[in-house]
Structure 1
Amino acid sequence: MAKRIDVSDLDIFYGSFKAVEGVSMSIEPRAVTAFIGPSGCGKSTVLRTLNRMHEVIPGGRVEGKVLLDGQDLYAKDVDPVGVRRTVGMVFQRPNPFPTMTIRDNVAAGLKLNGVKNKARLDEVVEKSLKGANLWNEVKDRLDKPGAGLSGGQQQRLCIARAIAVEPQVLLMDEPCSALDPISTLAIEDLINELKERYTIVIVTHNMQQAARVSDQTAFFNLKATGQPGKLVELDSTSKIFNNPTEKATEDYISGRFG
């Protein structure tokens, strides 16, 4: 299921403003790639181009290519909604649908895609909640509101909702920034399990988290405020943290700036 992503010469714009410039990278399947860098360097913007979420913002557009197993996600005949089904996303703050039950939160994407068979929906809900390590905690209250769960449980519910539609890639934009240390550990353990089935890309400001969960790390930076963000280097996580090629990467990881 997991797919490889190849990005080449990617420029990202919001109206006339160039937010990110000249990004080329390969993201491996069945692995975790972490995006790190100071605030405003474009890492979340790049993440959102991988499933065309940045286009939701008026004026959002790209130049260059994003290929998913060789298919150009920005080709004229490609449906952005279909892209987002294949490339799922989990946001910084848990965002379960507040008026929906736990069961309906997980099944929302399937229903949107026209699945009506109750037995099929129940089967996918159970499978997805198990996949998000949440089933045992909620199996007796599936008809209670999803918003009634703790923050860490809500984030795992959002992960269950994302994997219910069987994507090939999971994007996570600082998925632990609003969570306590115990919930963070649960999400990190889950990421480690999910990478056996998915390609995972995570944006994080937490250096230790990037070192713990990722197989490769991309460091982004910008020369000055108002300048476009750029990819400085991408390599195995151990190389980036122990022996980076670029001095700027070493300075950021060691805390000398950012």
Structure 2
Amino acid sequence: MAKSLTLDDLNVYYGDFHAVKDVSLTIEPQSVTAFIGPSGCGKSTVLRTLNRMHEVTPGAYTTGKVMLDDLDLYGKNVDPVGVRTTVGMVFQRPNPFPTMTIRDNVVAGLKLAGVRDKARLDEVAETSLRGANLWDEVKDRLNKPGADLSGGQQQRLCIARAIAVSPQVLLMDEPCSALDPISTLAIEDLINELKSKYTIVIVTHNMQQAARVSDQTAFFNLEATGMPGQLVEAGPTKELFQNPQRKETEDYISGRFG
């Protein structure tokens, strides 16, 4: 079941560098929330705090809270690996495991968790590939390398891999930036389908994409180079694009900067 995410006064640091300052935001379940803003404003950093991926960088830490419904994702006894299963992630460039078959790419997370039942793995592989709108294109070559697929197919394979472990939230960090327009459309259509089952957060530089796929948009900015990124404004996408409350938001959306 998809869950909500609540950020309460979130601050992100990399050693002495204060990367993101005082972010408070609620992300509704079974919806798509887009993070927009200029390069370096902290939107991808905030995205990575939602499943503790930023912690792979030495010296990274947060203050404030990130809640998944009633669970504090940074609680004392919370396992980061478990968080990354519950809150899955799809990265900017498709990253299938190059030496693995299409099938094994999809079920890699289950195998890592100790699942060995072939019938179960086959079932999850098919269900996940169908969920990623990829099954009909690959069902006759499941034992071929995932790296043999086109860029758009590889990205959908990565989405299948993410949903195979039954997450409640899907994070997508510019999932279409390396894709052609036709593949981008396929991913956007897929996002619209997936939100019936998952809470989705997407980082995008593409204003039109944010307008097309998201229910809510959060605009991030930074006051000056070297200053922390901040959440400027968030709200329903249509309202934020048509009637932004802050001048910085209007300037960014209208293309005056960024």
Alignment TM-score, normalising by the size of structure 2: 1.00
Q: Specify the SS of the correspondent of 1:29.
A: coil
Question: 1:200 is aligned with what amino acid?
Answer: I
User: What is the alpha-carbon distance in structure 1 between the residues aligned to residue 172 and residue 160 of structure 2?
Assistant: 13
- Distance of 2:135 and 2:126 partners within structure 1: 7
Partner Cα distance (2:66, 2:153) in 1: 33
Which residue identity lines up with residue 73 of structure 1 in the other structure?
Answer: L
Identity %: 79
Q: Deviations over 1:72-115 (max 9, x none)?
A: 00011000000000000000000000000000000100000110
- Which residue matches 2:118? 118
1:232, 1:46 → 2: CA distance? 13
Separation in structure 2 between the aligned mates of residue 59 and residue 70 of structure 1, nearest angstrom: 27
- 1:26 corresponding residue in structure 2: 26
Match of residue 153 from structure 1: 153
SS in 2 for 1:99: coil
Distance apart, 1:70 and its partner CA: 1.4
Partners of 2:107 and 2:210 lie apart in 1 by 31
Partner of 2:8: 8
- Extract structure 1 runs of 4+ deviating beyond 4 A: none
Which secondary structure state, in structure 2, belongs to the residue aligned with residue 227 of structure 1? Answer: coil
> Following superposition of structure 1 onto structure 2, how do residues 36-185 of structure 1 map, counting pairs within 5 Å?
36-185=36-185
* Partner Cα separation in structure 1 for residue 223 and residue 21 of structure 2: 12
- TM-score, normalised on structure 1? 1.00
Distance 2:16 2:63 in 1: 13
CA distance in 2, matches of 1:59, 1:26: 27
Partners of 2:16 and 2:3 lie apart in 1 by 32
Residue identity in the other structure for 1:204: T
Instruction: Give the CA RMSD over aligned residues.
Output: 0.3
- Alpha-carbon distance in 1 for matches of 2:70, 2:248: 32
Deviations 1:92-141 (A, max 9, x none): 00000000000000010000011000000000000000000000000000
